[in-house]
Chains A and B, each alone.
Chain A
Amino acid sequence: MSVQSVYSSLETLLPLVRKPVQYVGGELNSVVKDWDSAEVRWALMYPDAYEVGVPNQGVQILYEVLNEREGVLAERTYSVWPDLEQLMREHGVPQFTVDAHRPVRAFDVLGVSFATELGYTNLLTALDLAAIPLSAADRTLDDPVVLAGGHAAFNPEPIAEFIDGAVLGDGEQAVLAITDQVRAWKRDGRPGGRDGLLLALATRCGVYVPRFYDVSYRPDGAIAAVVPNRPGVPRSVAKHTVTDLDSWPYPSKPLVPVAESVHERFSVEIFRGCTRGCRFCQAGMITRPVRERSITTIGEMAERGLAASGFTEVGLLSLSSADHSEIDQIATDLADRYEGTNTGLSLPSTRVDAFNITLANELSRNGRRSGLTFAPEGGTDRIRKVINKMVTEEDLISTVSTAYANGWRQVKLYFMCGLPTETDEDVLAIARVAHRVIEAGRKASGRRDIRCTVSIGGFVPKPHTPFQWAAQCDYQTVDARLKALGAAMRADRGYGSSIGFRYHDGQPSMVEGLLSRGDRRVAKVIRAVWEAGGRFDGWSEYFSYELWESCAATALADDGVDLAWYTTRERPYSEVLPWDHLDAGLDRDWLWGDWQAAIGASGAEEVEDCRWTPCFECGVCPAMGTQIETGPTGARLLPLTVLGRTPAPGAEQSGDEVLAVVGASAVRGGAGSGERA
């Protein structure tokens, strides 16, 4: 049964919508495989706008890993904006993939990557447009298996009703195992139907299938127990961890969209995981241990990725890129390699204490020194101890002074508001920090045109972190503190124009809090919001707090819980958390101990990084059978051999040169510029 492209019916709608190019696909390095000869077909979705979704590393990696396989086909689909959604409903055009514009319902698996919980309503839009029943229980053999992945999948309970399964952790190997299982099931004539496949995925592939677990509640609203209801299904589902990142050098053929996207660069993930131990940071907790890519593989990936894409910038991606054991060498060697080619290097995340001026100079060799960004997260040393972000104000001032003295003009500082134990003073102190930064910068640079931008967001407690038990700060308090901070920033006119202040108000954080730490009952809220028109909740122009608030009040009325119960309530140790049966490897008692260490009466205790101090027994390595994988390797990146660098004498004058294209990629090696392919 072949599947028809819906492009011809979509095409007549495209002239009527904003930025139609985002729906046509055709990206460089995109792949369209033959439908009929594929045995297993994946639709990969990033549930946000194309411009946000298309650069997503996770989707690009899985897309490539799957399409490399014989008999496996993967295409991508993104959220359509409401203007197109309405037209698609009017004209009966289903949710489609951008690669071959095939209807999503025709695929075997729909894999959805959730970087943030605010994409949940977009999942419902896509399912509905695809004519896939919203509730997993209503789906038939004709519907794809809907799997969630990404960081939000570490607590998929709020969307448990809508998904068939969730994959925790790294996806590279997991999607291949799932593919093999789906293939075997289809070849064997689909034994056990849909349920049979899900049981096989749950028991053999480490997929969390919510329907195989019964959740019961106590009279006070908390969870009583989560119990498997099928034989063979594990009590607790463990995350997937890819080791030896050098053997998974993806993406190697980056997608290059024709439409503009939020990240216009080729990104190389230089390591995965982080053990700095910031207590608010879910990413740092659930991606342990640290696994570095070697300098050699990073160099090869950058070379191949640039050659395949034509991008002008390489991003060295990770949770804290300056922490790579060989970051200085990587920056220096890449800067050497690409000198004179108008190729930029960027580091998307820098710690104050890991940053050094040599590194910064390599990153901006001969180039612009426009901006550096640091994330002290808290305004006082006290609150930074609470969150275990061990950076002192003096560190910060000395680092920014060095940066300003070396020619940088602008420093951006990121903070959070609403952290546990936070007082008004902790937030107001941010103004003082900003003033000190400007003062130090003017002194160090001898100029007055330096700038500092303070950007601040609301803190949301996340599952699998020491703060998972914390009470979220209510939005009224957050907004009041931000208002006071704004006033304090502007109070001193001497700094006014040198400081930029950007913040988000607190309301969206409440909804994010509900969706982050919610349980299965929250599904009713999501559905109600979606039915009332909720879409694109990550976008301020679409987000409506009032809608979420009223839907939560109505939908949860019978359960005796409410929005505040999920957000601003501190949880006791004894409470069963909705994600306790999902295993990120972290020892629950270690997390609790770390939470107590943060809020201890005699001040917070700090935890070091296990990369350079002894193991502090967070539990991940023994639970997952993994270990820290870091360098240094001592290797260097050899210069790329420059071919045809020197034109033959007289060639300029002869006028009959012929263009020579010497292979798709330059020869690497130490032989120097004389070598030719």
Chain B
Amino acid sequence: MARQQPAGPPPAPIVQRLTIRYAKRGRMRFASHRDVARAIERGVRKAGVPVAYSAGFSPHPKISYVGGAPTGAASEAEYLEISLTQRCEPAEVGRVLDGALPDGIDVIEVAEVDGKLATAQLAASEWEVVWPGVAADAAARAAEVFLAAPSAEVERLTSKGLRRVDARAAVVSLSVERRGEAGSASECAILRMIVRQMTPAVRPEDILAALRQASSLAPSAPPVVTRLSQGPLAEAAEVTAGPGSAPAGSGEPGSGPAPSVGQTARPSTDKAMCLTAGNAMVASAVQARANEQLSRGTRDRLADPRAREPYGRDCPDARNRATESTTQFQRSTDWTRFGPQ
């Protein structure tokens, strides 16, 4: 049957696109990327940012998220792209949005995307892993074995069952430092690694699993993983991935090879370049692929709330029955708290 179209004018056109770099810090590292997306959509509304909406019966805000850090991992370099119906000063958008987000989901930088969407991919991430109870020397030896191997298959339990991935294939570089006194109870191995974006994705935890396969490491607590930066991967970076490039755990901070991808020049063709990652890498652009899947996913309620509710909900006293008639008003968006000046 013909699908009905909502009455009223179509949504306001997009006049500006912004790329936002944000962090997931502290206890917010336990948020999933759906949680983060939901928080950001609410923050955008709360801050009064004039976000564009899709057309249709249940309009979605036009926000695209690029490969979010996994649940449990912190990040200093998450990216999203947002489409606006009114032109705004990027820095001001960053300020008001940051104020409307929960502590720990923090806006770092906002820049305008000029003209067509940026095409360069965020091809790799730099990760830091704090691994409690693991001796740096032992971790360095494991890294050496791992890097020397042609491949390192590990298994991960996903929602679709057990998956096998080659952890080695994704690793561009890997170095180990020591925190705390060697041999003491407080000793931690600090790993720094540059990991390629791949399909299926290789996560830092996969690499740690591979390291544990390579040698017996006994962490005293789960690792604390932080994404430090994201950006394109320069060809030059590949050379650091060779065997033997893992430094011994000397305990000297920075004794590992600087992630050479960091020195990658911005592609001169990239006019939309707007974000400079503070760390070693340059995010010259944001993946153009709009992550529609994710943006829709954040709108889904728990598949069917009633189905999952306690029995009490159906008893005569729990008359808080599920929503009957929910709808969206969707004429042209106008904004009460954003002025032109």
Binding site for B on A (CB under 8 A): 7, 11-12, 14-16, 20-21, 23-28, 48, 51-52, 115-118, 151, 256, 258-260, 262-265, 278, 280-283, 307-313, 315, 317, 319-320, 335, 338-350, 360, 363-373, 375, 377, 407, 412, 414, 416, 447, 449, 455-460, 462, 502, 504, 508-509, 512, 537-540, 543, 640-645, 647-648, 651-652, 655, 657-663, 666, 676
Instruction: Say whether B337 contacts A666, CB under 8 Å.
Output: yes
Q: A341-B329, A343-B328, A365-B329 are in contact. List 13 more A-B contacts (CB 8 A).
A: A21-B30, A28-B39, A115-B312, A258-B102, A260-B34, A264-B301, A344-B327, A345-B327, A346-B326, A348-B322, A657-B340, A659-B89, A659-B338
Q: Are B30 and A312 in contact (CB under 8 A)?
A: no
Q: A24-B27, A27-B102, A652-B87 are in contact. Are A118 and B312 (CB under 8 A)?
A: yes
* Alpha-carbon gap, A455 to B307, bound state (A): 10
Check: B251 CB closer than 8 A to any chain A CB.
no
CA of A488 to CA of B310, assembled, Å:
27
How many angstroms from the CA of A643 to the CA of B8 in the assembled complex?
A: 22
Across the interface, do A643 and B336 meet the contact criterion of CB distance under 8 Å? yes
Min distance, Cβ A410 to any Cβ of chain B, angstroms: 10
- The distance from the CB of A437 to the nearest CB of chain B, in whole angstroms, is 15
A456 to B314, CA, bound (A): 8
Say if the beta carbon of B333 comes within 8 Å of chain A: yes
Q: Which residue of B lies closest to A282 (CB)?
A: B317
Q: Is the CB of A338 within 8 A of B324?
A: no
A373 near B45 (CB under 8 angstroms)? no
| Distance in Å: Cβ of A649 to nearest Cβ of chain B | 9
**Minimum distance in angstroms from B34 CB to a CB of chain A:** 7
Residue among B30, B316, B322, B324 making CB contact with A282, cutoff 8 Å:
B316
Q: Which of B92-100, B160-168, B230-238 is the interface stretch?
A: B92-100
Bound-state CA distance A24–B36 (Å) is: 14
Contacts A26-B104, A262-B302, A308-B46 given: A662-B35 contact, CB under 8 Å?
Answer: no
Taking a contact as CB atoms under 8 Å apart, the answer to whether B339 and A116 are in contact is: no
Chain B residues with Cβ under 8 A from A51's Cβ? 302
Closest to B35 in A: A258
Give the docked Cα–Cα distance between A456 and B321 (Å).
12
Contact yes or no, B326 A368, CB < 8 A: yes
Taking CB atoms, residues of chain A closer than 8 Å to B308 are 262
Q: Give complex CA distance A281, B319 in Å.
A: 9
| CB nearest neighbor in B for A152 | B317
Pair A644/B318 contact, Cβ less than 8 Å: no
Nearest chain-A residue to B12 (Cβ)? A340
Is there a chain A Cβ closer than 8 Å to B341's Cβ?
yes
The answer to whether A414 and B321 touch (CB under 8 A), given A262-B305, A310-B46, A512-B312, is yes
Q: Which single member of B36, B43, B324, B328 contacts A342 (CB below 8 Å)?
A: B328
Instruction: For B7, list chain A residues within 8 Å (CB).
Output: 366
A379: min CB distance to chain B, Å? 16
Distance between Cα atoms of A652 and B16 in the complex (Å): 10
Q: Given the complex, which residues of A lie within 8 Å of B38, measured CB to CB? A: 258, 260, 264
Q: What distance in Å separates the Cβ of A542 from its nearest Cβ neighbour in chain B?
A: 10
A460 to B320, CA, bound (A): 16
Contact (A260, B317) CB under 8 Å given A12-B222, A348-B323, A367-B328: no
Which residue on B lies nearest to A666, using beta carbons? B336
Residue A315 contacts which of B72, B323, B335 (CB distance < 8 angstroms)? B323
Q: What are 30 contact pairs spanning A and B, CB under 8 A?
A: A11-B27, A14-B72, A26-B104, A258-B31, A259-B31, A281-B319, A310-B42, A342-B53, A343-B328, A344-B326, A347-B325, A348-B321, A349-B320, A349-B321, A366-B8, A368-B57, A371-B325, A373-B324, A375-B321, A449-B1, A462-B316, A509-B311, A512-B312, A538-B312, A543-B311, A644-B338, A657-B88, A658-B92, A660-B340, A662-B339
Minimum distance in angstroms from A497 CB to a CB of chain B:
15
The interface residues of chain B lying within 8 Å CB-to-CB of A644 are 335-341
- Contact, CB under 8 Å: A283 / B315: no
A311 CA to B41 CA in the complex, in Å?
9
Q: B58 is contacted by which of A265, A368, A373 (Cβ under 8 Å)?
A: A368
Answer whether residue B86 sits at the interface, using C-beta atoms and an 8 A cutoff. Answer: yes
Given the interface contacts A258-B35, A657-B341, does A538 sit within 8 Å of B310 by beta carbon? yes
The docked-state distance in angstroms from the alpha carbon of A9 to that of B125 is 29
Give the chain B neighbours of A360 by CB distance below 8 A: 325
Q: How far is the CB of B61 from chain A (nearest CB, A)?
A: 8
From DSSP, what is the main secondary structure of chain B's interface residues?
loop
Is the Cβ of B35 less than 8 Å from the Cβ of A259?
yes
List B residues at the A interface (Cβ < 8 Å): 1, 4, 6-8, 15, 26-28, 30-32, 34-36, 38-39, 41-48, 53, 57-59, 61, 71-72, 86-89, 92-93, 96, 100-105, 132, 221-222, 301-302, 305-312, 314-341
Q: Is the CB of A660 within 8 A of B311?
A: no
The 7 closest A-B CB pairs, nearest first, are A538-B310, A367-B327, A644-B339, A457-B314, A310-B42, A116-B312, A310-B46
Q: Is the interface of A mostly helix, strand, loop or mixed?
A: loop
Residue of B nearest to A512 (CB): B315
Residues in chain A near residue B44, CB distance under 8 A: 310
In the bound complex, do residue A342 and residue B310 qualify as a contact, i.e. CB atoms below 8 Å apart? Answer: no
Is the pair B331, A366 in contact by a Cβ cutoff of 8 Å?
yes
- What chain B residues lie within 8 Å of A375 (beta carbons)? 319, 321
Query: B222: which of A15, A281, A373, A459 is its contact (CB, 8 Å)?
Result: A15
Verify B93–A659 contact, CB threshold 8 A.
yes
Q: Kindly state the separation between the CA atoms of A647 and B340 in the bound complex, as whole angstroms.
A: 5
Distance in Å: Cβ of B131 to nearest Cβ of chain A: 12
Residues of B within 8 A of A460 (CB): 315-316
* Residues in B neighbouring A414, C-beta threshold 8 A: 314, 321
CA distance A372 to B38 in the complex (A): 26
Cα–Cα distance between A350 and B316 once the two chains are bound (Å): 14
How far is it, in angstroms, between the C-alpha of A345 and the C-alpha of B330 when the chains are bound? 13
Give complex CA distance A11, B36 in Å. 19
Whether A652 contacts B339 in the complex (CB less than 8 A), given A115-B318, A258-B28, comes out as: no
Our pick among A281, A339, A349, A365 for the contact of B317 (Cβ within 8 Å) is A281
Is the pair A661, B337 in contact by a Cβ cutoff of 8 Å? Answer: yes
**How far, in whole Å, are A663 and B41 apart by their CA atoms in the complex?**
20
A7 and B27 contact, Cβ closer than 8 Å, known pairs A309-B42, A657-B87: yes
A140 CA / B341 CA spacing, docked (Å): 62
B46 touches A340 (CB 8 A): no
Which single residue of chain A is at the shortest CB-CB distance from B205? A15
- Asked if B337 and A260 make an inter-chain contact with CB atoms under 8 angstroms apart, the answer reads no
Which of A315, A414, A663 has the most C-beta atoms of chain B within 10 angstroms of its own C-beta?
A414
B317 A368 Cβ-Cβ under 8 A:
no
Q: Choose among B53, B86, B222 the residue that contacts A16 (Cβ–Cβ < 8 A).
A: B222
CA distance A342 to B71 in the complex (A): 29
What CA separation (Å) do A627 and B113 show in the bound complex?
A: 61
Q: What residues of A have a CB within 8 angstroms of the CB of B323 in the complex?
A: 265, 315, 346, 348
Q: Determine if B314 and A455 form an interchain contact, defined as CB atoms under 8 angstroms apart.
A: yes
For B337, the chain A residues whose CB sits under 8 A away are: 643-644, 661-663, 666
**Nearest Cβ in chain A — how far from B56, in angstroms?**
10
Question: CA A25 – CA B305 in complex, angstroms?
Answer: 22
Tell me how far the C-beta of A308 lies from the nearest C-beta in chain B, rounded to whole angstroms.
7
A41 → chain B, closest Cβ, in Å?
A: 22
Residues of B within 8 Å of A15, CB to CB, are 72, 222
Residue numbers in A under 8 Å from B104 (CB-CB): 26
Interface contact B331-A339, CB-CB below 8 Å? yes
Contact of B42 among A12, A256, A282, A341 (CB under 8 A): A256
Given that A363-B327, A367-B328, A643-B337 are known contacts, is A118 also in contact with B102, CB under 8 Å in the complex?
no
Q: How far is B36's CA from A260's CA once the two chains are assembled, in angstroms?
A: 10
A389 CB → nearest B CB, Å: 10
Residues of A with C-beta under 8 A to B57: 367-368
Most chain B C-beta atoms within 10 Å of own C-beta, residue among A26, A151, A310, A447: A310
Q: Are A342 and B28 in contact (CB under 8 A)?
A: no
A366 proximity list for chain B (CB < 8 A): 6-8, 327-331
* A340-B222 in contact (CB<8A): no
- Cβ-closest chain B residue relative to A364: B327
